[in-house]
Amino acid sequence: MAVKKQKKPQKRKRVSVTAGATGFAGASTGISPKGLSVPSSSSDPVSVLMAMTPSGAETTSSTSSLLTVKSTKAVAQKKSSLATAQLIRRYHTLNKELSKCLARIEANKNATEQQHHHHNNWKHGGSHKGQEQAAADLVRIAEIRQEMDDLGGLDMYQKASTLGQSKQRGGDSSKWLIPILESCHPDINKKTDPPLRLLDVGALSPHNYQKYSSWIHTTPIDLNPQDPLITKMDFLEMPVPASKDKLFNVVCLSLVVNFVGDPAQRGEILRQATRFLVPRTGLLYLVLPLPCIDNSRYMDHELLVEMMNYLGFATLVKHHFAKKLAYYVFRLDVAPGGSGGKKGKAGMVKFPKKMRHDKPNRNK
């Protein structure tokens, strides 16, 4: 009995596809906004995916093409996220070092003036040493500012921060606050009652609370606004409201305090918030990088709560530690100047720099 010899199935050839190819001879193309050659709508989905495959990639099916496109986008997004995080971290480090240099120069200036005032000639040796330190600080300040400029300056830092709070990167931190505002104001009529007044310090976008505009009126401010709807303003120089009806129900300090390199100025920012809030009901929304709380030698959750209590924020409404951020909502219950800390000059309370957690790899 004669048996027909079965034909061997032909192997499908792997086709190298470039960004400018359609994958099919004679297929019509249309030019996309990004300059890629993409088949017209009459072409089948496989050709569309093949045309979108990065240059030099190989594909044998629509599934592999789709995976190639997705993996390429994922790699690009991961690299972009890493670059953004590195820029932000480096700018923070430089800004902190800059603040230390400026603080030393100011301290040396005050000491020199005091010496001249009291004619303490025996301290001239110390004054000379201080002048050498000031000269070294001035050189370092020039280097720091040059590196900041090379990174793109404050404008590039702000753009990187804006990208960091995009929906693709997890969204902005305002969404955590909304349920808390609703629980603190359960009787508010979101359609007819006067809206809550919210001051957003260091705002990256004026639209963070836009969909809640019927019951939340936002005043966004920043030193270097990235949007014309954000008011250019230094919070420490912002005029304090002259009347109670101009005070705010909420002050937001989201990733603001940690940006300031000088510890004394950080404290002044927190104190300034008390001047803008409605007493007994006003809320402070404070967001910090998590390492500031759980990886610091000199700060932790308990100390932060104690310091806030001294400022008048006696009630910690809620807090939450996420993967990278620490969220806090405090209520201004009493006037600033409660118990806690150590009395310094002019009756001011100081929280001295003191080692609380001496472990390897902790932030200084």
pLDDT value of position 54? 43
Q: What is the pLDDT of residues 52-70, one digit of tens each?
A: 434 444 444 554 554 454 4
pLDDT value of position 335? 65
Q: Is 254 helix (H, G, I), strand (E, B) or coil?
A: strand
Residue matched to tokens 């720099």: 353
Are residues 200 and 166 in contact, defined by beta-carbon separation less than 8 angstroms?
no
Is 222 labelled a binding residue?
yes
Question: By mean pLDDT, which of 94-108, 112-126, 218-232, 312-326 is the weakest?
Answer: 112-126
Helices (H), 152-279: 153-164, 178-184, 263-274
331 vs 1, more confident:
331
Question: By mean pLDDT, which of 41-45, 104-108, 295-299 is the weakest?
Answer: 41-45
Q: What is the pLDDT of residues 175-212, one digit of tens each?
A: 899 999 999 999 999 999 999 999 999 998 899 999 99
Half-sphere exposure of 87 (CA within 13 A, CB side): 23
| Most confident region among 106-120, 158-172, 282-296 by mean pLDDT | 282-296
Are residues 312 and 333 in contact, defined by beta-carbon separation less than 8 angstroms?
yes
Residue 147: pLDDT over 90: no
What is the torsional sign of CA 57, 58, 59, 63? negative
Query: Predicted confidence band at 133 (pLDDT cuts at 50, 70, 90)?
Result: confident
Q: What is the pLDDT of residues 289-327, one digit of tens each?
A: 899 898 888 899 999 999 999 999 999 999 999 998 999
Query: Predicted confidence band at 103 (pLDDT cuts at 50, 70, 90)?
Result: confident
248: CB partners within 8 A, 6+ apart: 197, 198, 199, 219, 241, 276, 277, 278, 282
101 vs 317, more confident:
317
pLDDT value of position 293? 93
Are residues 329 and 283 in contact, defined by beta-carbon separation less than 8 angstroms?
yes
Residue 352: pLDDT over 50: yes
What is the amino acid identity at position 256? V
Half-sphere exposure of 1 (CA within 13 A, CB side): 1
Give the Cα separation of 269 and 276 in Å (integer): 11
Residue matched to tokens 């118990």: 339
- Name the token pair of 108: 């040396």
User: What pairs with residue 38 in β-bridges?
Assistant: 30
Query: Predicted confidence band at 8 (pLDDT cuts at 50, 70, 90)?
Result: low
Give the Cα separation of 136 and 277 in Å (integer): 42
SS (H, E, C) 265-310: HHHHHHHHHHCCECCCCCEEEEEEECHHHHCECCCCHHHHHHHHHH
113: left (phi over 0), alpha (psi -120 to 50) or beta: alpha
